[in-house]
Each structure stands twice: as C-alpha cells, then as structure tokens.
Chain A
Amino acid sequence: MTHAEGDDIPAVVLIVEDNATNRYILGSWLSRAGHTVLEAEDGGQGLALLEERRSSGEPMPELAVVDVHLPDMSGFEVCERIKDDPFTTGIPVIHVSATAIGTGDRTQGLYRGADAYLTEPIAPSELLATVTSALRYSRARSRAERLAQRLTTLNEVTLEIYAAPGAETLAAAAARGASALIGSAAAVLTQSPHADTVHLTHITAAGRPSSGQATTELLARLSAPGLGSRTGVAVTDLPEVGALPLQGAVTLVAARTKRGRPPVCIAVEAAAATTGEDRKLLTQFAQACALALEALRSYTEEHTLAVTLQRAFLPGRLPQRPGVRLAVRYIAATAQNEIGGDFYEAVETPTGLLLAVGDVVGHSLEAAVVMGELRHALRAYAIDGHGPRAVLERLDTLLTTVRPGWTATICLVLVAPDGGSVEIANAGHLPPLLLDPVGGEGRFVREHGPLLGLNLPQPDSVRREIPPGTVLLLVTDGLVEVRGVDLTVSLEQLRAAAAGAPRDPERLCRALLDSFDRPQEDDIVLFAARIGAVTAAQEPPGAPGTVTMTTGAGA
C-alpha cells in the first residue's frame, strides 16, 4: 500500500489504562514516535477528557488506546460510547489487554467497534505499526468526508448561480459561493451583460456582503497574467491587490467560456486557499459562474433582438389627418418575459381612416412574426377598399391557410371621412370603448364575432353615429387581465377610469396607465382616437399622432 499525504504526521493519542506502569510504557513508546499523549486512568476519566477537549476547542485525539479491563467500566463500553457520539465516532480505538485471553474477547472487542486488538506481550513496533495503520484509515476517511462536504457545498452554490435571474444576483451568489467553499472572504468581478459596468461584489469572512463598481481595466489587468484572452479557467497567485478588499496576497481565478467576452474573476485571500483541492473547487466554481453569466448574456441579447424585431413589425408613426387626433402606448411586459404579439395600426383607406388593435395569441418571436404578417395583410386588404368585416374574413382565411393553429383577436374601426360615424367589426377582441366628447359617459360596443384562425364567418359590422369630439379607445388584454378578477369587472373599471379621464388622447392614455399601474404579465397596447372637430378650448398643446413605446410597467 502506498502512503497518502499526511499519514506520517504525528497524532494526539489518548491512552485509557488503569495500570500506571503499562500507561507509562505505552505512553513513552508513542511519545518517542512523535505523538502527543493524553492519559486517563479509567473509562469515566477518558470520556470526560474527550468532552473537555470538545468544549475547549483544543485538538481532539485522533486515536485512542483503551485497556479492555478498567475499574469503572469495560474497555468495550468506552469504545462503544466513543463510536456512538457523532463528534468522536471517527476516532479509531485500539484495545490492549494485559492478560492472556481467548479469541472470544478479541472478537467481542472488534465487533463492538474497536479497530484493532492487541494482547500482551505487545512489541513496541507492533503498537506503532497498528497506530499508523489505524491513522491512515481514519485520516483517509475524514479527508473523504471533508471532500464530500465541500462537493455538496460546490453543488449548492453552483445551483444558486444558475438560479440567479440577473447579473447582480449572480455576482452576489458567486461571492457567497466562493466564500462558502474556501471559508474566507471573497471578491468577485463580473461585467453586466448589457453594459460596460463591472460589479465588484465582496463578502467578508463573517458573511457580510457589499458591492460596488470597478473598471473594465481592473478586470482586464487581473485576468491578463493567467487567462489573457483565452477561454477556459486560470488560477493566478498575485501579491496584495489594492483595488480588492482582501487581506494580503490573493489567489485569483479567472474564467471565460466564449472568446471575446469579458472574464469572470473570483479572488480569495491566498492564505485561505492553500491546497490543490481548494484550487480545483474554485476552478470548477468559476467555470460555472462564467457559463451562467454567458447564458444570461445570450438571453439578454436574444430578448433585445426579439423586442427590436417586434417593434419593427409595428408602425413607426401614425398617419396624421385633420379631424382625428391619435395617441398610442405600447408597453412591453417585464423584461424577463418573452415578447408578445400585440399590435395596432392606422391606415388611410378609400372609405375612411381604419384603426386596428389586435393580439396574436402566444408569447414568442414566432407570435411577433405572425403579428407582422397579419398587420401587413390588413393594410393591403384595407387599402384595396375592403370594409372592416371583409378585411376580418380575409385575414381569417389567410391565418387558417398560412398559419394553421394560430389564432388572433382583432378589432377594426373605420372612421367615416366626415368623422360623423364609425363602423366596427370585432373578431373576439376586447370591446372598443366610445367616450362622450366632454366628460361623463363611456360605452363599450359589445357586438363581436369569433377570433380569427378558426375559419368561422364574421357577423355584420356595426355602425355608430358619434358626436364630434368623441373618443375611441382600443386596448389589449395586458391592461385589464387580472388573475381572480372577472373581465367584466376590470372592463367596467376601465370604462369608469376612462370616463373620468381627460379627453385629449395623450392625456387619456397617461391617466389610464397611471390608474392601472401594477406589475403586468402581458404586453399592453392603448390606442386612443379623438374624432371630429375639437374646439380651441379643448385643444391641449402637444404633437398629434405620437407613438410612445415603453418597456416595463412604468408608463
């Protein structure tokens, strides 16, 4: 058998033996071999000594030599009590017996927990060899247990890294994780996926976190000697780094998973990370941190790309027409969500201005693509002079033919050229709201057909005469859909809020977003149109036909 690292290091050994002469002889053999000897005269004293050491924090004996025949209890019982206590269970026990005894005693001793059994006459070399053998075994076991514990910790802190929803939580988890692995203070440098800011996250040995900003230069300077511009992981020993809140020399682990990306740097005090095992654990952990940050970065990039694409499918500006004042708000759901298929449109047609709001069901880039197709088709059919109902039926045919399985809700409102009436065709969308010119009332137009994509006929459109200055409001369900609240109730809230809000479309949108301010799960489109003559007194300042896009719940 080969010797593992540390097998020859002397140990603290407890001798429990009532015979003073034997105690002296055993002790002197062990002392001469370099071990530190603690002596006890009986079982009670031996166990008390272990208890004392545990509470005082002094080094515990690594091994016990226990006489089988003790005045207060048998050596077997002492052994059992050592092995039964989780704190001392790892201490190997060697029984010694002064009298010649049969194999029954030896087997009983071994069965009851002892690691070896020696009977007199004992040769010093035999005792020392047995001690070395028992220590080799128990030290291997405690090394394995410690490693298992550290791997469990590695597993836990790695999970935390992958669960982090954003760059800052990831950095905090990385600092906590490195500190837990090494048992000392740790500092982590990460660069945000969407910015040039470098976070410096620090945690003290006592577990107190703090964070601040660092520079990209520092990140580059620290990772340059080991990792450079490579991908992979590099461990570097650096003298004290003034920019890092760590004491003395520093062990720095830099990791990068994709060429051209900034690395992740984890730094701990060199005094705390002295073994090869420490470095291996830190290497693995840094690799996980770099992978998790890369995933977060890719996600952010994809999301930004998807949102940009989705926005490209929407009109950049609305047509300006005398007598109709338009305002629209498009508010994306929280950045973590996928993108939606909400849309709006305003298009001049031979028979008047056609306004539309719709929602392709689903949250994905594909939903946004379907939305783009529908919107362009809608414009084409509308410009060709088809009425609202005919446009809806053509869109239904298009959807069922080209995109089977997809559904969409769309509400179309055709404003007569003289502004005196509107023609409404609604395919399963939230009902449009008509607001009286000055304060007061608002009415939903509830007539509707089925949503598009089911290959079903649409009912006739409905026509409403409207007094000049009437405001039309179209919304998508992100504004009114609330868990646990019947849509009838939230639509009524919308009606009440709109009825009491200013009639200028811009101010109306702002007021509604304020009154429905809450974390929203879905995209929101708010499309308002003021139709017909507006008196100078009603006219507020501000550019007509503005498109406002916002990300996040805030308006």
Chain B
Amino acid sequence: MDRGVAGATDQGADGGRFTVSVDPAPDATVLRLAGELDHDTADVLSGALETVLDGGTPRVLVDCEGLEFCDSTGLNVLLRARLSAADAGTAVELSGLRAAVARLFEITGADGVFRTYPTLADALNGGATAGVEET
C-alpha cells in the first residue's frame, strides 16, 4: 500500500514551525507531525484531527517521529481527540515519540491512555495484532 506523502495535505502555521500531513488509507489514517506543537500551533493539529475524525476512520495513527517539541496544550489536543474518537469507536494511537516528547507523556501519566509504537512501520504492521504498549 502506498503510504507516501502523495496526496497528503499540509497545514502549517507560524511559517511552517509545525506541520501536519494527513495520509488517508482505508484501515487507518496517518497524521505525520513535524516541528513544535504548542500553544500557538495546537489549533493546526486539532483542526486536522477534527477533519479526520469527521470523515470517519477506524484508526488514527499519529506519527510523532518529526515532532521536536510538545507542550501541555499539544498533549491536551491529543487527549481531546482520543475522547471524541472513542465515542465513534475510533482508536487514536501514537508512534515514533522522541525521548523529550515521551517524557511529557510519562510525567503526566498520559502514556497510560495511548497505545504507542516505536515506529510508524511497527504501528502499521502491528495494527491488526497486539501492539507494543510502552509504559
């Protein structure tokens, strides 16, 4: 399956300090985050997540490999998305968390509510079976 960036939509704010590219696929929609997710850029992600969830998808994979920084506002966007997705029976899962970003999830205990994978490939391969849950 082609999971390249072809057909991806880029939404940027602050001159591209943070970008989300959305890659729709039948069994999972992949959102690739890059840059700094914070108070000023969180709206970009919440907008993208809203669009994806409105479109209906069984699984949302948020790939954080390119995410250099995330603050509590950014974390909250993901938490809210998880809540509204749960109502529709959609799972929101994360992959490729860098150490600094993972630390925020760990300190706040938010790591317990997201299924996380070391890489996007792991997430896509392990989607049907049990994923690796990091705690």
Contact = CB atoms under 8 A, between A and B. Distances in A.
Interface of A: 338, 359, 361-363, 404-405, 407, 409, 427-431, 448-451, 453-454, 456, 477, 481, 483-488, 521-522
A407 B72 CA distance: 9
B79 A487 contact: no
Interface in B23-72: 36, 38-39, 68-69, 71-72
A449 B72 CA distance: 16
Nearest to A481: B71
B76 A487 contact: no
A361 B75 contact: yes
Contacts of B113: 450, 454, 456
Nearest to A431: B107
B109 A488 contact: no
Contacts of A450: 108-110, 112-113
Contact of B109 (A428, A485, A522): A428
A489 to B, nearest CB: 9
Contact of A485 (B79, B83, B100, B107): B100
Nearest 8 A-B pairs (CB), nearest first? A450-B109, A428-B108, A361-B76, A428-B109, A486-B100, A487-B103, A451-B108, A361-B72
B103 A486 contact: yes
B73 interface: yes
B107 A448 contact: yes
A454 B111 CA distance: 12
A93 to B, nearest CB: 48
B72 A359 contact: yes
B103 A456 contact: no
Given A486-B99, A487-B104, A451 B83 contact: no
Contacts of B108: 409, 428-429, 450-451
Contact of A449 (B36, B100, B109): B109
A154 B11 CA distance: 32
A486 B105 CA distance: 12
B72 A477 contact: yes
Task: Kindly state the interface size class of chain B when it binds its partner.
Answer: 20 to 34
Contact of B79 (A448, A454, A484, A488): A454
Interface of B: 36, 38-39, 68-69, 71-73, 75-76, 79-80, 83, 99-100, 103-104, 107-110, 112-113
A488 B106 CA distance: 11
Given A477-B72, A481-B71, A487-B104, A405 B80 contact: yes
A444 to B, nearest CB: 10
Given A429-B108, A486-B100, 16 more contacts: A338-B39, A362-B76, A427-B109, A428-B107, A429-B107, A430-B107, A450-B109, A451-B110, A454-B110, A456-B112, A483-B36, A484-B68, A484-B69, A486-B99, A487-B107, A521-B38
B94 to A, nearest CB: 15
B65 to A, nearest CB: 17
Given A361-B72, A483-B36, A453 B99 contact: no
A487 B76 CA distance: 18
A407 B103 CA distance: 18
A104 B112 CA distance: 88
A363 B39 contact: yes
A429 B106 CA distance: 10
A407 B110 CA distance: 11
B100 to A, nearest CB: 4
A95 B124 CA distance: 78
B36 to A, nearest CB: 7
Nearest to A458: B109
A361 B100 contact: no
A356 to B, nearest CB: 17
Contacts of B80: 405
A453 B104 CA distance: 16
